[in-house]
Amino acid sequence: MLHSNHVYLISLLLSLLLTSSCSKREDQNGMIISDTEMLPEQESWNSTITLTSNGKIIALVHSGHMSQFSNKKLILLDDKIEIDFFDSEENHTSHLTAESGEINERLKNLKAIGNVIVVSDSGETLFTEELLWNNKLQKIISEVNVMITVEGDTLYGVGFESDAGLDNWTIKEPKGRTSRLVDIDE
């Protein structure tokens, strides 16, 4: 009798061990995924990715650590990122730095997260906490607080849209400071 209880107890412990090692979770859409599906297919350190459109370079993305999830068509950039943007003639237009980011490989969109700073070659500087490069629109978009400095002026807002060179931009809910004389009647 004592022997059969030990066999039962050992069997129970083994089955618990086996089922716990194959744990499953729900993703944000409620789909069940196993731990192995959360592992990247590829990882690289101190690497650069070249994003192109119609054979022309639009961005060079450098990160201290990249994790590629092919089944999700997603690349996570989780160790300080730097991005150089280029125009349609492959001329450098701006430089972005951020704490982390991600690339949607299907859409070729890029999201920068945490202490995002974009410095254009023409001198404008944009500060925000989150920014999206929309490849289809060829635009930088932010829906959170932004600050942009232009020729000594500082403008704040919530929401921003621009080309990669910060040449043609729109800021939502603008507030600002200027060192210039402004005629309010105009």
> Residue 85: pLDDT band by 50, 70, 90 thresholds?
very high
How much is the average pLDDT of 136-159? 93
- Number of alpha helices (DSSP H) and beta strands (DSSP E) in the chain: 1, 14
Question: 37-64 pLDDT, tens per residue?
Answer: 678 888 999 999 998 888 999 899 999 9
Instruction: Specify the pLDDT at position 51.
Output: 86
The ranges assigned to domains in the chain are 35-177
Give the tens place of pLDDT for each residue, 110-136: 999 999 999 999 999 999 999 999 989
7-28 core/surface letters (b: 16 or more CB in 10 A; e: else): eeeeeeeeeeeeeeeeeeeeee
Of the candidate ranges 23-27, 75-79, 165-169, the one whose mean pLDDT is the lowest = 23-27
Check whether 33 has a pLDDT greater than 60.
no
CATH of 35-177, one of 2.60.450.10, 3.40.50.720, 2.60.40.10, 3.10.620.30: 2.60.450.10
How far, CA to CA in Å, does 139 sit from each of 36, 57, 120, 161, 179? 35, 15, 14, 7, 29
In this predicted structure, the answer to whether residue 176 has a pLDDT above a threshold of 60 is yes
- Read off the DSSP letter of residue 108: T
User: Structure tokens of 139?
Assistant: 């635009």
Residue 8 main-chain phi, psi, to 5 deg: -65, -45
